[in-house]
Structure 1
Amino acid sequence: MREAEFRAWLEAQDYEDATIVMQINRVRRIEQSYGDIDALIENGGLEKLQQELAYSKADERAGKPNPAEFPVNGNVYNNMATYRKTLDYYRQFASGDEIQKADGQNITAAAIEAAMDEFDTIGLEGFKSQYGFGTPQKYWVKRPGNGKLYPAKAVVGVSYGHVPSGVPLKASDFYGGQGEQAANGILRKLGYEIVSRGATAPEAHVPVKPEPKHESDFMAMPTNLILYGPPGTGKTYRTALEAVRLCDGIASYPETKDGRAALMARYNELVADKRIAFVTFHQSYGYEDFVEGLRPVPIGNSDGESVGFHLQPQPGIFRLIAERAETGGLAVGSEPLNIADRAVYKMSLGEVADSASDFVFTESLQNNYALFGFRDIDWTDPRFSDREEIFSEVKKEFPDVDVTPNKGMVQSPDVFRNQLEIGDILIVAKGNHRFRAIGIVEGEYEYAPRPDGRYCHRRKVRWLWHDKDGLDVSELYPPKFIQKTLYRLKDAELNRPLIARLVSETVGDGAEGEPLPHVLIIDEINRANVSKVFGELITLLEPDKRAGMDNALSVTLPYSKRQFSVPANLHIIGTMNTADRSIALLDTALRRRFNFREMAPEPELLPVIEDIDLKAVLTTINQRIEYLIDREHRIGHAFFIGCETAEQVHDAMRDKVIPLLQEYFFEDWSRIHAVLGNGFIREDKLDPPPGIEGDRVSSWSVLAPFKADAFERLTAKVVDMAVEGDE
C-alpha cells in the first residue's frame, strides 16, 4: 500500500482523521491476508477479491460463514460491505479518481434498511466514532415492523454508503442544505415516520450494541499481563503484538520479516499517539519515578528573575498515562477532543470586584471569543511577534510609565498574541479561588477597537463549559491562581481529568465517547522492588477496582493530594526475564493481580542452515543447561531467529550464546564446556611454575574458528570430552 499517498488522497476528499485511520487499517488487514494491494491491482486481482468478499442478505439469512480469510467481529454483511468499500476507495485512489458521492435522489429504502442493520450491529457509540456523528438532538426515524427508533440524520448519512458507488456522508457533510431537514425529507419520501423526541429516545426502542461475542472483544476488561521466560524467547516482540492488539482490537501480523516490520510500524504509530508508553524497571526505580514525586522548581519574581526554588509534585509515567487514558474518549459534538496534549492557560475576563467589567465575561461567551485589555495598541503588525518590539512600542506610547520586558503590560500582550496557540485551553478565573469557564482557542489574534479604548484585543474561542458562580479551583489546580491576567498553568499541578469531566457533562455540547485503549509496558518488571514502586496503588490495579467498575476505588496521592484511580481502558503488560529472578520470588500481591504467560524457547521455529540443524542445537543446549542449573536459565530461539548463513550462526554462538553461558556459570569454563563440547571450547593444561609443586590446571579458551564439525559434536548423544592439545 502506498500509505502516505493514500492518506493524502483521503484528506483531499475532506475525510476526518478517524475515518482516514480506519480506511488505512482496513487496507493493512486486507494485505495481511491477501498480499500487497498495489500488486493485486497490477495483476487484475482486485475485482476478484471484491467478488470473494461479496456477502448478500440472502447469504446472511442462510447463515453462510465469513467469506474473508481474516476474522471479523459483529455482523458479517456490514463488515464485508465496509471492506469492499475500502477496496473501491483504493481503486479510485490508484486510478487518480475523486470519490463520487451518491445523490440523495438515489437513496433507496434498501439502503436505509442496511444502515439501520449497521446501527443494530455497532450501536449509537459505533455510529458516533466511525462516522463522526454526535448524539441525536431532536429527530429520530421509526423502523416499520418493530417500531425501533434510529437517529434520522445519521441513518441517512450512512445509507449513502449502501448504494452502488456511494460513500457514507460524514457529520460535517450535513451543512448547506443537507442538514436534518434534508435528511428528514429523504426519509419521508421513502415512507418513513419521523419522531421528534429530543436527545434521548425511549430506551426500549433504541438498539444497543450487542454483548461481546468474539475473543478480541474481551479488551473491554482491563488486562494485567506478565510475559515471562528465559532470555531470547521473543518477549519484546510478543509485547509489541499484545499492545497493538489491545489498542486496535486485532493484530494479525504474519511471522515474517515483512509482518514484523508492519507490526513495529503500527506499534510506533501508537507510541507517537501516546497510547502506548514504555518504561524499564531497575533496582533504584521507585514510587517517585513511577507515580509522582517532588522535584525542585525555580521561583521567579514579577520581573521573571529566579529567586530560589521550591519542591513541586511531578507526575511519573504511570500517572501520566492513566490521566491520558481517562481523558482519551472525550468528544465535543462529533469531533474528538484530546485534553492531554493541550497547553492550558488561566485567563481573567474582566475584574470580579468591578461590576463595570462584567460585560467582558458575558460578551466573550455570547460571541465566542476572549476579550483582552492592556492598552489600546494594535498588535497585528507581524513585527510584534517579537516581545522586544512590543516592549519598544509600549515605551514609545507611554514614555512616562516604568516599563520592562517582564512587566505585565509587555508580557501579557506577548502571551495573548504570540504564545497562546490555536487549540490551547483557556480556564477563566473568578478571582484567585474559583474558575467559571473552559474554552478552546480557535483563532489568531485580532484587533477590534472600541469607543472607550478598552478590551480592544480578542481571540476566537469555542466555549465548552461555563458556570456563572464558578467552582472552587483547589481540585482543578491546587496552587490556586495568581494575580496575573494570562499565564500558562503548570502541567504537573493541573487536574486534566476534571476538565474532561466538566466538558463531557455539558448538556448538548460535550459527549463522552468510547474510551480509547491505552497500554503501559513495563520491561524487566521483576528487577525493581514492586511493592515500593506501586505503593498503595497495587490494589487499584485489580480489574474490578478500576474507575467505572463495580468495586471502583480511588486513593489520595501523597504529594499532589489529588484523588487518583486507574481507568479501565489502561492495560498493563510486564516482561520478566526468569534468568534474573524466579517467579516464586515475586511479590505475592503482584502475582495475585497479574496473569502470567510463559514464553518458552521454541526450537521448532528454527531452520536448518547449511547443514546446521538449529532446532537440534538449541534443544541440546537447553537440555544441558536445565540439567546443570534449572529450566529458567534456558536460552531462547531469538538468538538464532535472524540467522540466514552459517557465518551468522557462528557469530551468534560466539557473541551471544557463549557470553551468556559465562554469566550463567560464573566463569566456570568446565561447565560451559559440558554444555557446548570441545567443538567450541578448547582445554589446555598448564604446568605449575618452577619451584612450585602442584597439579596441572586447565586453561580454557573459545576456539577461533570453531571446529568444522562443532555442531555435529554438540548434538551427538555422547559429548566428546576435551583432549589435551586437541586442535
Structure 2
Amino acid sequence: MAIPKFKKEYVMDALKYIDENGVPFHNQSTKYELVTDDGKRYPPKYVVAVADYLANGTNISTDGFNAVEAKSFLEGQGFTIETKQQEKFELSITAESVVSTDERFTMDNISLGDNYKPLDVSFKKATGEVIKRAYSKGERRNSNQTLPRIACQVFEKQIASLSVEDKESFPVCKYNPDSEMICGIFASVDEYKKHRKTIEYMTYGYDNGRQFVIYCWNIFSTISFVQECLKRFGEPGDQFVLTYREKDEKETVVEEAEAAAQEELVQQFKGYRNPFSSMLIESKNLIFRGAPGTGKSYLAKEIAADIISNGYFDDYTLLTDEQKRQVEFVQFHPSYDYSDFVEGLRPRVNDDGTMGFELQDGIFKKFVTRARKNYEDSQKSKETVEKELSVQEAMAEFFASLELGVDSFKTINGNEFTIVSVDDSHINISIPGNATVNKLALNLDEVRRMLESGLRFEKIKDITSFFGKSFATQAYSYDFAIYKAIKARKATGSKIHAKQTELKKFIFIIDEINRGEISKIFGELFFAIDPGYRGRSGEISTQYSNLHPNPDEKFYIPENVYIIGTMNDIDRSVDSFDFAMHRRFRFVELRADERLEMLALLENEELEAEAIRRMAALNKEIAAVEDLNENYQIGASYFLKLKTLDFDQLWTDYLQPLLQEYIQGMYDEEGIMKRFAKAYGYQRQSRGDVHEATQDQG
C-alpha cells in the first residue's frame, strides 16, 4: 500500500496532535526523525498515520507503508528528515534495585523489552572485578538470553546445589505488579514443558550434559531471576549490567514473524504417530546413525510422511504429489559437491548454437526456495496475497497475448525492442537497433515487484530509488517500458479472492551423509543450517552471489525447513565426519533390534517370528567377536528381502558377503564364519563338505 493522499496542512495538524497527545511507545521512531525549525523531533511513520487520520478519518495505523516511504513523502513536502542517532542504554541490576539510563524503563511493564536488542552484558563485583559472558562456540553473541546466561555462568554451582523444590519455586519473571510470578528452574525441556507448554525458554548446559531450563522471552523477562540470584548468592554491591538499544523497524518485523512462525510450527507437535517426529521439530536437524539395515532411510521417509500429513499417516507413498514437493531426498557420495547441492555454473547451448555457462541452483537451494516462498507467503495478509495474485494474473495475461518476437515496445529514450521469450526467471528481449548489446535477459521478479508495490513509477529515477540503487542499470529502461505496457493492458475484471497461505513444513533427507566431503558440499551453509541461525538472522551471501540478478540478495534457511541425515557407523568412505556438523545436528543411535516393527511388512507372522529369532542369534554371535561391536550387527531391513527370498538365499547372497568383509584379515576367519552361519541357522553343506563326506563313507 502506498502513502495515503493528503495535503501538507494535514501534516502540520498532525504535529500539533502529537504535541498534545504524545507518541505511543510502539510508534516511536527507530531510524528517522522529522525535525522542525524549533528543534522538535517526530517519528515520520506516525506523523503520516496521524495526518491520514485527520485528513481521511482512517484509524491511526503505520502498517500500510514503511519508514523509507514515509521519509520520501515528507521530504517531498519540504520537511527535514534526519537519520536518528542510535542511543545505547545501560540497565543496572543489584539485589535491591533495577535502574536504567533510559527514562522510559519501568518494572511495571517489562513486556516493553520486546522493543530492545542486547549489546553487551557483564557481572561487576563489589571489589571492582568484572566478569564477561563466556560465549559458547557458534552461539549468537547477544540474544534475549544473554542476561540470564551470565547469571547461570556466575552462580552455576550455587544454582546446581539447590534442592528440586527450591529450583521449581525459584522466581523468574513478573511482567507487572498485578501479574503472577513465573517460577521454576528445570532439569530438562521435557520437565519445563510439564509446567509451561511454550517455546519461550532458555537452556543452559553445564557439567557434561546437565541443564538449567527457565522461562525466557524478551531481554527484560528474566530480571526477577537475575535479581533473585544476587539476593541469594551475591555479595553486597555486586551487580549485573546490560547494555542495549532500541530495535530498528526491520529487526522488529523480522523477529515477530520468525517467533510467530516458530510458535505455529511447534504447536503442531502433539498429534504425530512417530516419537522421532517431535524430536525433529524441536531440534530442526537430526541424524540417525547405527548399524546397516536398521531402516534409517525408511524411518526418515516415515517421519517425513508423519509430519507432512500432520500425524494422519506415516506411509510416504500416500502423500499427494503436492505434499511430496515438501520432501526432498538426496544421497551423498565422495564426488558430490557444492554445485550439486547449493549452486554452480552449468553448460548450456545458446540460441545461436554456441556453448556457454549459466548459474543454476542445486537441489538443496531449489528446495529451500520452495520452503522460503511458503514461509514468506504465510506471513502476508489476505489483502497482500490477493494483490500479488492479481499482479500474477495480469502478467500472465499480458505475456500470453503477445506475439513473441513481433510485438514491439519503446523505452523512454525511444529504443525499440521485442520480447522473444519468457521463463520462470527472465524476460528475454531483442534490441535490433543496439549495435553493442542486441539481446538482454531482464529479471522477471523486478517487474513483478514494481507492479505489486502499488507505487506509480514516472521515470527511471523512481525505479532506481525503489530498488535502493545509486545508479540505474541498462535493464531498468526496459523494465519501465514493460511495466507501463502491463499497466496499460491490465484487465479491470472481478476482484480476486484468496485465503491466507498455510505455513507448511519442508523436510530434506540426506542419505549416507557421512560419505560426502561435508565442507565441500555445504560451504558457507555451515552457518545457515545451524538451528540457532534459522531465518533472516542467519542470512549469508553464497559463493556465486556476484552472478545473481541482484548481487545484494542474501540466502537464508527459514524456520519451516527440517533436515534428516542417515549414516552407517561402520562406513569408512570418509575418515571422520566433520566436527562442525556434530554440533548442528542431534544424533540418534538406532540399534539393530530397535526397528523390528518393520518386519510386519512380511505379512506372515510365522516368517516374522523366525526372522527375529535368527537375527537375534546372529547379532549375539557378531557382538561376541572381539574386534566387532553392535555397529556391525545386522538390521531388520535385510530380512524384508524374505518377501522374495528364502532364508538360505538371504544368507548366501547378502549376509555372508557382508560378514566376510567385516572379518577380512582377522585370525580364524573361517571359524568365525562357521559360528555366524550356525547362529543364523544356515546348514547347507558346501561342495567341499559334500566331497569329504562321500570319501568318508567309502
TM band (smaller chain): 0.3 to 0.5
TM-score (norm 1): 0.42
